[in-house]
Each structure stands twice: as structure tokens, then as C-alpha cells.
């Protein structure tokens, strides 16, 4: 709900459980007033006070009022060069060489529908829009602040449109999607950081004076830092405390920065990273920022996560199967790598079908002259030496087994040893006069150029139209270097990084439109582009190239703070694990992978009869419990980074009639102590039967705990299914 009080000039946004208020100051500055627990309609302007502070200048509109300064007032969108020395939200270079940006209120609009963004991902669903119009009168620049309110999901979204209303070009040098000011700084800042094979580990620290920032300049949101951050009260935990989650729906260079200022206020600014960003705005042209999404939870980090999970599942992911069970798949990569032929693939497929697998995915090596990772990228035609007759001959054989077919592609990349590169070397990112850097011995195609996108998509369309393809895994196996485009003049090279991301989004949208029944899974060396932007186009993302079940407990734990389990691609792989040599029991590997988009990545023909029986049981369990696993409310019961005796998590149905508890123990102990596991989210007034046996009260399970059995061996796994007794 969005309301405007004309007398007080306040705007108030209400969601089911939160209130967000801003006000127009007499100077025209739009002040941020409040964001927190839901309040009755009231005027909260008295929360913001001023004082005469040395070295905090006063704007001209304040006259002789030395108590008002941009340097200490909370704002909805911070400016630069006019007296606010804290983190700016916007900066532009004007024809006269100045870089000053000074914004004042000039109107607003309230709409009954949630806004959309051309060429960019955005949340959708029932909700309203507030647009606050600002302008820099001297520069003749308009800035529209967009607020979307999805009341039922406690979600507020932010986006910005900049319009050049002058008669000359200007250069937009910084343009954040979100600025959020707080009248306090006694908070912790949580980021989700890591590296390839170890993504999204939570890092938490108290705000100290100055600026702390995370971001990416790699051309993708990155394995190293995720475009999701949290500000929370210092005593906040899973179950209590005020928490603010902020997610940027963007898959390229980003920055999330928080500043604790001189008067113990704090400011969060989030958006496209200003590194190598400079967008030319011709007269009359506009620029739209990516969307940012906010959740405020007064019930701790767990409640915040569940709010994001519901909103992402229902209002971001657009695939018609967002809340439908995905097929159980087997991927041939770790079974064959590049060394395969039709017979070898069919032998894996026959074993898979007999065990209950539903989808066979052909990974890297099926195209061009691709026998290793040094050649062939860019030549998207079937290698008929490996697959005589092409996909048209393979897929009928799979259909006879009851399997649908999926395929791996890496459209953004090119090998120098390829027909495409030999014909169009200028289509790859390279700086004239410099030798290129290589990652995985490949270069990056310039997706900022329409002719490049059209050529690549034309090839993909031929492949996808040649056979019944049910699934596409879209990979990206290196970051961007030597980012220079032959398609733009020198003065506009600062647009390339962003235009590249827009190009990726355009092709994915075309793919979704032309092939609406294909399930697309995103990938970037695993989790290097796991963000809300990609989830708008790909309803699931390969969570990490690290398939070790024990390491995955940490990766999936960190990912779960924002992203729902149904979005995390997770597979059972062979042991010893290829990344670290660890061996975990097959049951444990299944339990870990089951809390994601479930599948297998191993040669099933090499499994023992006992292993095949366990795989069959896992698949049956997943099919029976998928709705609970993927659509239930998710609770983190332990923190795997604390090296406790076990890692445990829980899914509870919306009606609280059933729950599934999963637990993975650490290393084996001699004479281990008896342990109790306290559950969450149950109905305290109901009784629950555990694994079809003994019954316990919901209150007892939550407040006293469930007595865990003694578990033998390293990394033993356990699942408890709870069903309410009616």
C-alpha cells in the first residue's frame, strides 16, 4: 500500500509487516525517515533532526538555517559535490566539465501496478509503484526514483531512471539502484564471499567508521562476492533481531558499499560498479538501473530468508515450473568428460532410466572440433564423428528409455581454434595492440554487439530445433578482460560492460520466448553468476563446481540466506570427489543434493548393486517429498562453519502438517555424547509422528528437542520425516 500525505509531504509504503517512509524537506531534498516494523499511519518527520555542525555546509535553499546540511540528513538518493561528503548515489560529467549533481523534488506518481524495466529483470506480481521525480535544474537532468511494493511478500524494490533533458550530451559516471540511510550505525554488515569451488560464505562484522564495500569488476557477479548483503542488529540471529536484506538483480559488475559516518549514521549504496562505467546520454535519452530488492525482518535472519525465498519463487522466477517438480537428471560430465560416443552415452542412460532418472544431459564436447577445452567454442554444430546422425539419431534412443534430453552450451565464449574466431576475430574482446589474456584457453565474445548475438543465437536455434531438447545448461567459464568493443567509438567504451550484460539478457529472453518449454539452468564455472538477475531468465543455477557433499553443506548454507533451494543445482557425484579427494557415504551425498535441483553426475553403470538400490531409494524419496523440499519454509538449524558435531536443516510445509529434517554428521567420534536437536517452525499444538514411528508434540520437538541416534562412521547422514497426527 502506498499513501501520500499532501500536507506533510510524506510518502509511506506499507507491506504486510513493514513500513517505509520518506518526506520532502522544504529545500526539496527527499529525506529518508523510517524503515522497519509496520506502524500505524503517522508522520515520523520528527525523527530527523538537525544542528549547526562545523564543516557541514548548508545548501542555498536553507538560507540562514545552519542546522540543515546534506552532510548529515538521511536521503533517499544521495548526490555529490553539493555538501554531502558521504557515499554518492549518482555522478555525471556535464559539457562544462563539472561533476556536480544536485537533485530536488519536482513531483511524483502513484500507480496501481508494479513497474517493469525494459531489457532488465524485475520482480512481478500484485503490487503498486511510487515514482518520485527529482531534477537537477542547472544540469537539466531528471532522476526518477522507482519504488515497487509487493505487500504480501514484505518486499520493496528500487530502481532509477536518469533522463537528459538538456540540449547536449552528458556522461553518466555513477548511478546506483539503491540508497538506504539509517539513523543508527550499531549494526553488523554481512556479505557472502568466497572463490571458485567455495562460493557465498557468510562474513559478518560490525560497522566501523568509514566505508566497507564488496563488489565485482569481473564482468559477472562473481564467485568472490555476491550481490546480496545484510545489515542487522548486532545481536540478531536466526530467530530474533531486526535484519535488512538487499539484493541487486544484476549479473555484471556491481558494488555494495556501506558507510558509518561521523555522527553514527550509516548509508548503504548498491548498484552497477563505477569501475569502467561511463554511459553517454544524448539529449532526450534515458538510462535505467538494475532493480534492487529490500526485505526488512524483525524476526531474525531466518525469517528474512524465508521472505526472500517466497518472493523469488513466486514473483521473480518466471518459468511455469517454478513451483513444479523438476525432472531428476543425470549429467555425463564427470562420467566421461570429452571422451564419449553414442554407445557410451546410451550405456549410462540405460542404467539411469532403470533407476528412475528422467532427464539425460549431454555436457561439453558434443560440438565442433571439441575433444578438449582448447578448441571448438563458437562452432555450435554437432560433432558427427562422436554422434553419427547428430542429435536427431540420439534423442529417439533416449525417448525409448523414457528419458528426455538436455544439452550443455557456452554461447558467450569462443576458442581461437574455431571456425567462428578465424572468420571474425574482432568479435572477441581484445584491445588493439595488446595480446589477450586467456581463461581456460578461451576468449569472450562481444555480446554488446547485435550482429554477434544474432549469429550465436542463430546457431543455437538450429541445434535446439533439430531435436526435442527439454533442458539447456548455459555455462560461462571465464571472466571478462581486455573489455574493448570494435562496435563502439572510443568515447563510449565505458558502456561495454553493461551492454554485455544487457546482451546476455536479450539472448536468454529470446531463448525463453522461442522455446518456452525448455528448462534453462544457469552456470558460471558453478556459482560465479548466482544472482537474482539470472534467476529471472534461468529458474535454477548450478550452485558450485564443487560437488563434494560436505563442502556443499557450507555453500548451500550461505546461498540459502537469499536464494530458495529450488534454484540451487545440486548433484550426487562419485567418490573420492574429484575436487578434494574426500569420500562421503552415498546416502549423505543424496541427502545434501536433495535440498536442491536434484540430479546425478557420475557413471551409474559403475555402481554396485547396493549403490543402485540406494540411488533408487533417493530418487523415490525426492519425487515423493519434492514439494516439501522446494516449497516448504526453510530453517537453518545449525551453522556448518562453526565445526559442530553435525549440520542440520529443516523444511516445513506451509500448513505445518509435515516437515523434513536433514542432518549430516562430522567425523566419527569414539563414545560420542547423546545429543538433542531442537526443531523449528512446527505447530506447538500438534503431535507429529517421526519416520512413521513414535509421536512427539510439536512443542516438545521445538523446545526440548529430538533425541538423535548415535551415528557411526565419518559424515553419516540422517533424514527425519514428520507428519502431523490429525
In whole angstroms, give the CA distance from residue 410 to residue 523: 9
C-alpha cell at 318: 518466471
Kindly report, residue by residue over 303-339, the tens digit of the pLDDT: 999 999 999 999 999 987 777 899 999 999 999 999 9
* Three-state helix/strand/coil letters over 306-332: HHHHHHHHHHCCCCCCCCCCCCCEEEC
Taking each helix axis from N to C end, the angle separating 342-355 and 391-400, rounded to the nearest 10 degrees, works out to: 30
The domain segmentation of the chain, as residue ranges, is 2-315, 329-424+470-489+520-631, 640-724
Tell me if 355 sits within 8 A of 604, measured CB to CB: yes
In whole angstroms, give the CA distance from residue 544 to residue 554: 11
In whole angstroms, give the CA distance from residue 593 to residue 618: 10
In whole angstroms, give the CA distance from residue 515 to residue 535: 17
3-class DSSP assignment, residue 208: coil
State the catalytic residues: 475, 545
CATH number of 640-724: 2.60.40.1180
Q: Which CATH superfamily is domain 329-424+470-489+520-631 in?
A: Aldolase class I (3.20.20.70)
Compute the C-alpha angle 646/648/651, nearest 5°. 170
Backbone φ and ψ of 113, nearest 5°: -110, 155
Backbone φ and ψ of 334, nearest 5°: -75, -10
Cα–chain center distance at 614: 33
Tell me the H-state helices in 571-672: 586-594, 609-631
pLDDT at 473: 98
Tell me if 175 sits within 8 A of 495, measured CB to CB: no
**For the chain, which residues score pLDDT lower than 50?**
none
Cα–chain center distance at 572: 23
Backbone φ and ψ of 19, nearest 5°: -130, 140
As its CATH architecture, domain 2-315 has: Distorted Sandwich (2.70)
pLDDT at 324: 83
pLDDT at 323: 76
Amino acid at each position: 500500500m502506498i499513501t501520500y500525505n499532501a500536507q506533510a509531504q510524506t510518502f509511506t509504503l506499507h507491506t504486510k509487516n513493514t513500513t517505509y517512509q520518506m518526506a520532502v524537506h522544504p529545500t526539496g531534498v527527499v529525506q529518508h525517515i523510517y524503515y522497519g516494523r509496520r506502524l500505524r499511519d503517522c508522520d515520523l518527520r520528527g525523527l530527523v533532526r538537525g544542528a549547526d555542525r562545523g564543516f557541514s555546509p548548508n545548501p542555498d535553499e536553507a538560507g540562514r538555517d545552519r542546522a540543515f546540511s546534506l552532510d548529515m540528513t538521511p536521503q533517499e538518493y544521495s548526490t555529490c559535490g553539493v555538501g554531502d561528503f558521504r557515499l554518492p548515489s549518482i555522478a555525471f560529467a556535464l559539457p562544462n566539465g563539472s561533476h556536480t549533481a544536485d537533485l530536488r523534488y519536482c513531483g511524483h506518481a502513484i500507480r496501481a501496478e508494479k513497474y517493469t524495466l525494459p531489457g532488465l529483470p524485475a520482480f512481478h506480481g500484485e503490487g503498486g509503484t511510487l515514482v518520485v521525480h527529482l531534477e537537477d535544474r542547472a544540469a537539466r537532468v531528471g532522476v526518477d526514483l522507482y519504488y515497487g511494493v509487493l505487500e504480501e511478500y514484505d518486499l520493496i524494490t528500487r530502481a532509477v531512471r536518469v533522463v537528459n533533458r538538456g540540449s547536449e550530451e552528458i556522461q553518466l559516471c555513477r548511478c546506483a539502484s539503491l540508497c538506504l540511510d539509517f539513523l543508527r550505525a550499531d549494526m553488523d554488515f554481512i556479505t557472502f564471499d568466497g572463490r571458485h569451488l567455495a562460493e557465498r560464505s557468510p562474513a559478518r562484522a560490525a560497522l566501523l567508521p568509514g566505508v566497507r564495500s564488496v563488489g565485482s569488476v569481473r564482468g559477472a557477479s562473481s564467485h568472490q562476492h555476491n550481490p546480496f548483503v545484510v545489515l542487522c542488529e548486532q545481536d540478531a540471529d536466526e530467530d530474533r533481531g531486526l535484519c535488512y536484506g538487499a539484493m541487486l538483480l544484476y549479473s555484471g559488475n556491481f558494488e555494495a558499499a556501506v558507510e558509518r559516518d561521523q555522527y553514527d549514521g550509516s548509508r548503504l549504496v548498491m548498484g552497477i560498479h563505477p569501475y569502467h562505467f561511463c554511459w553517454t546520454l544524448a539529449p532526450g535519452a534515458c538510462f535505467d538501473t538494475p532493480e534492487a530488492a529490500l526485505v526488512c525482518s524483525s524476526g531474525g535472519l531466518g525469517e528474512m530468508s524465508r521472505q526472500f525465498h517466497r518472493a523469488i519463487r513466486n514473483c521473480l522466477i518466471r518459468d511455469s515450473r517454478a513451483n513444479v517438480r523438476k525432472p531428476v537428471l543425470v549429467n555425463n560430465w564427470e562420467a566421461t568428460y570429452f571422451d564419449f560416443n553414442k554407445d557410451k552415452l546410451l550405456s549410462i542412460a540405460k542404467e539411469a532410466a532403470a533407476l528412475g532418472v528422467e532427464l539425460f544431459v549431454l555436457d561439453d564436447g558434443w560440438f565442433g572440433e571439441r575433444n578438449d577445452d582448447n578448441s571448438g567454442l563458437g562452432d555450435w554444430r554437432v560433432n558427427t564423428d562422436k554422434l553419427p546422425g547428430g542429435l536427431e539419431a540420439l534423442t529417439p534412443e533416449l525417448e525409448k528409455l523414457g528419458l528426455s534430453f538436455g544439452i550443455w552450451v557456452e554461447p558467450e565464449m569462443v576458442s581461437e581454434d574455431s571456425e567462428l574466431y578465424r572468420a571474425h576475430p574482432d568479435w572477441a574482446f581484445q584491445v588493439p595492440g595488446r595480446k589477450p589474456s586467456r581463461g581456460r584457453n578461451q576468449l569472450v565474445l562481444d555480446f554488446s554487439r547485435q550482429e554477434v548475438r544474432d549469429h550465436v543465437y542463430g546457431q543455437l536455434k538450429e541445434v535446439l530445433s533439430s531435436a526435442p531438447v527439454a533442458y539447456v545448461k548455459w555455462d560461462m567459464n571465464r571472466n571478462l578482460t581486455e573489455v574493448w568493443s570494435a562496435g563502439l567509438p572510443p568515447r563510449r567504451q565505458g558502456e561495454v560492460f553493461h551492454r554485455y550484460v544487457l546482451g546476455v539478457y536479450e539472448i536468454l529472453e529470446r531463448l525463453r520466448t522461442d522455446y518456452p518449454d525448455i528448462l534453462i539452468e544457469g552456470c558460471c564455472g558453478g556459482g560465479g553468476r548466482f544472482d537474482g538477475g539470472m534467476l529471472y531468465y534461468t529458474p535454477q543455477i548450478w550452485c558450485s563446481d564443487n560437488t563434494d557433499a560436505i563442502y556443499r553443506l557450507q555453500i548451500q548454507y550461505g546461498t540459502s540466506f537469499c536464494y530458495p533451494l529450488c534454484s540451487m543445482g545440486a548433484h550426487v557425484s562419485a567418490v573420492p570427489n574429484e575436487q578434494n579427494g574426500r569420500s562421503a557415504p552415498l546416502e549423505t551425498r543424496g541427502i545434501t543434493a536433495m535440498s536442491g535441483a536434484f540430479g546425478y553426475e557420475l557413471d551409474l553403470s559403475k555402481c554396485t548393486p547396493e549403490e543402485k538400490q540406494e540411488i533408487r531409494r533417493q530418487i523415490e524419496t525426492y519425487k515423493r517429498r519434492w514439494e516439501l523440499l522446494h516449497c516448504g519454509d526453510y530453517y537453518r538449524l545449525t551453522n556448518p562453519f562453526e565445526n559442530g558435531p553435525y549440520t542440520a536443516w529443516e523444511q516445513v510445509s506451509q500448513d505445518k502438517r509435515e516437515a523434513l529434517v536433514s542432518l549430516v554428521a562430522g567425523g566419527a567420534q569414539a563414545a560420542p555424547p547423546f545429543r538433542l536437536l531442537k526443531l523449528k517452525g512446527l505447530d506447538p499444538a500438534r503431535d507429529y509422528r517421526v519416520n512413521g514411528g513414535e509421536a512427539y508434540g510439536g512443542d516438545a520437538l521445538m523446545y526440548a528437542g529430538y533425541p538423535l541416534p548415535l551415528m557411526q562412521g565419518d559424515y553419516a547422514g540422517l533424514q527425519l520425516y514428520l507428519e502431523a497426527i490429525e
